[in-house]
Amino acid sequence: QVQLVESGGGAVQPGGSLRLSCAASGSILTMHAMGWYRRTPGKQRELVAAITSNGSTNYADSVRGRFTISRENAKYTVYLQMNNLNVDDTAVYYCYADRGPWYSGLLWGQGTQVTVSS
């Protein structure tokens, strides 16, 4: 079975930085994209950043210019460098993996808490 394991969350002050990591393991035949969603109670789930198999990246407007997503294809590992964090970035960040059109849903990591407060 494929598992996604996340790490790197924590608590920082506004303006601080964190780097999230997500590693996929198990029997992986295909991988179309990986990235992070985030969820705050009372708000809709938001796609934060994604990177596709060809290296293309996509960012939410709210994080563009502050966050950078990268990958290590051989290890199916992705990283999210988060700079200039603000209180609105506080959320549980969930790594996901999209294995393409032959799979009916996304794989999800366990989630990692990011808290930004002064």
**How confident is the model at residue 26, as a pLDDT?**
83
Grouping H, G, I as helix, E, B as strand and the rest as coil, residue 89 is helix
CA–CA separation, 113 and 22 (whole Å): 13
* Structure-token pair, residue 8: 């790197």
Confidence category of residue 105, pLDDT binned at 50, 70, 90: confident
In the predicted model, what is the mean pLDDT of the chain?
93
**How confident is the model at residue 42, as a pLDDT?**
86
Confidence category of residue 96, pLDDT binned at 50, 70, 90: very high
CA–CA separation, 113 and 10 (whole Å): 6
Best CA proximity match to 60, nearest among 51, 47, 70: 47
CA–CA separation, 69 and 56 (whole Å): 10
Confidence category of residue 51, pLDDT binned at 50, 70, 90: very high
